[in-house]
């Protein structure tokens, strides 16, 4: 590694995804480009009494291939199963032979917004119905949100830096950004970074319904998540995981890795404004994008595509649009901006990593995915959101935005790798 942290370059060499629209990155990407939607009526529990009866569920998921044994699967919550599977895919995709590498230099930053909500709900039911003596000894290790990061490192004997980020919907973009920083500082050569979420259950849906945060367009599930559209009425819950392999450039070259793109910059700011509402005018988001561009040493005009946070909430989409205009000025009108949450739902702590994997494909293919359901654009949301259909476009550099409850903002910048 170079002697000066600013000299070290970070590239993305692998990606894995578990999503409602595909349980691999290629499957997700192909379905996105085809304009498919992963949202439907909830099947995992009886949602008839809930205001929101729709979600983007991961169906027919088999975690076993990614685990050492079926017994290990039973000792993990659904969110950990998603994470371990996405990480396993990313490892395979990267072509790394871990036996030929120094595992002390390979770390894991996999976060979650909420952690083991299925375990929490199940064990609370057992407590109420059968008493404390019947609760599982695995309850705590199954529900704590650092266990996805911990278990993945154990299964693959990765002894480098290991942290679980938790910043609501900014979680996995923070994980990727902090992993980038860790490699830049020379504390690791390789990082597995991302996030996972599994909150489509009675407790999760009930809690978000009580907040009045979610869409109640129950009769039209496929049209319920509609970022930047005048008819949007809230987000739709998704679930899944995304994990990327970040690698120091010389380390990647030495093992002959295929390189998807170069990760150039990261921004991290707080709104310091409100528990759940964005700062007026997207002020915190704008500062975050500016920080990421500054770290990337790029100008706003260098960016071709923004994967927007774009959750389909009335306030959030307007504030993000305002933030993009603040940062990009006249260039904002020339940018392609899309939100893929119309297709995947909002995967909370997994969203940023899955969307970064989508950005990797956009850089690789020179195609940007569409914003589906954008039938009647909100007059306050007046950028080019790539409505309805994917678009061929020379994608030189991208911005990926994630903003979370608590006023957490995270942003990453990547570009085509040019040697």
Residues that are catalytic: 169, 309, 346
Give a three-class secondary structure readout of the chain. Answer: CCCCHHHCCEEEEEEEEEECCECCHHHHHHHHHCCCCCCEECCCCCCCCCCCCEEECCCCCCCHHHCCCHHHHHCCCHHHHHHHHHHHHHHHHHCCCHHHCCHHHEEEEEECCCCCHHHHHHHHHHHHHHCHHHCCCCHHHHHCCCHHHHHHHHHHCCCCCEECCCECECHHHHHHHHHHHHHHCCCCCEEEEEEEECCCCHHHHHHHHHCCCECCCCCCHHHCCCCCECCCCCECEECEEEEEEEEEHHHHHHCCCCCCEEEEEEEEEECCCCCCCCCHHHHHHHHHHHHHHHHHCCCHHHCCEEECCCCCCHHHHHHHHHHHHHHHHHHHHHCEEECCHHHHCECHHHHHHHHHHHHHHHHHHCEECCECCCCCECCCCCCCCCECCCEECCCCEEEEEEEECCCEEEEEEEECCCC
- Looking up tokens 């599994």, which residue turns up? 198
> Which residues share a beta bridge with 11?
247, 262
């Amino acid at each position: 590694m170079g002697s000066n942290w600013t000299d070290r370059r970070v590239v993305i060499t692998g990606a894995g995804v578990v999503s409602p629209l595909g349980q691999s990155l290629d499957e997700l990407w192909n379905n996105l480009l085809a304009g498919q939607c992963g949202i439907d009526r909830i099947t995992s529990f009886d949602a008839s009494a809930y205001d929101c009866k729709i979600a983007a569920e991961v169906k027919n998921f088999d975690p076993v291939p990614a685990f050492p044994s079926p017994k290990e699967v039973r000792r993990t919550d659904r969110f950990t199963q998603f994470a371990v599977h996405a990480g396993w895919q990313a490892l395979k995709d990267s072509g790394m032979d871990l036996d030929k590498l120094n595992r002390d230099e390979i770390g894991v930053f996999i976060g979650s917004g909420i952690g083991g909500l299925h375990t929490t709900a199940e064990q609370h039911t057992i407590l109420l119905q059968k008493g404390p003596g019947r609760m599982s000894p695995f309850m705590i290790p199954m529900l704590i949100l650092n266990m996805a990061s911990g278990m993945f490192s154990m299964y693959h004997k990765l002894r480098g830096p290991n942290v679980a980020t938790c910043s609501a919907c900014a979680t996995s973009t923070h994980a990727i950004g902090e992993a980038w920083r860790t490699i830049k500082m020379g504390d690791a050569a390789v990082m597995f970074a991302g996030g996972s979420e599994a909150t489509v259950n009675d407790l999760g849906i009930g809690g978000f319904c009580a907040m009045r945060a979610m869409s109640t367009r129950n009769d039209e599930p496929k049209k319920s998540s509609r970022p930047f559209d005048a008819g949007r009425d809230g987000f739709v819950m998704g679930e899944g995981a995304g994990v990327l392999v970040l690698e120091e450039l010389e380390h990647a070259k030495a093992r002959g890795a295929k390189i998807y793109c170069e990760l150039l910059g990261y921004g991290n700011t707080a709104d310091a404004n409100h528990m759940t509402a964005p700062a007026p005018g997207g002020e915190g988001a704008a500062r975050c994008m500016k920080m990421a561009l500054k770290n990337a040493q790029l100008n706003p005009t260098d960016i071709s595509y923004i994967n927007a946070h774009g959750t389909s909430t009335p306030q959030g989409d307007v504030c993000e649009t305002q933030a993009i205009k603040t940062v990009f000025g006249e260039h904002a009108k020339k940018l392609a901006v899309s939100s893929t949450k119309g297709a995947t739902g909002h995967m909370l702590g997994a969203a940023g990593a899955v969307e970064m994997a989508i950005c990797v494909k956009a850089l690789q293919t020179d195609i940007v995915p569409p914003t589906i359901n954008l039938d009647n654009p909100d007059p306050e949301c007046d950028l080019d959101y790539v409505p309805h259909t994917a678009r061929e476009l020379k994608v030189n550099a991208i911005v990926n935005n994630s903003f979370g409850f608590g006023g957490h903002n995270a942003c990453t910048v990547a570009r085509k790798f040019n040697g």
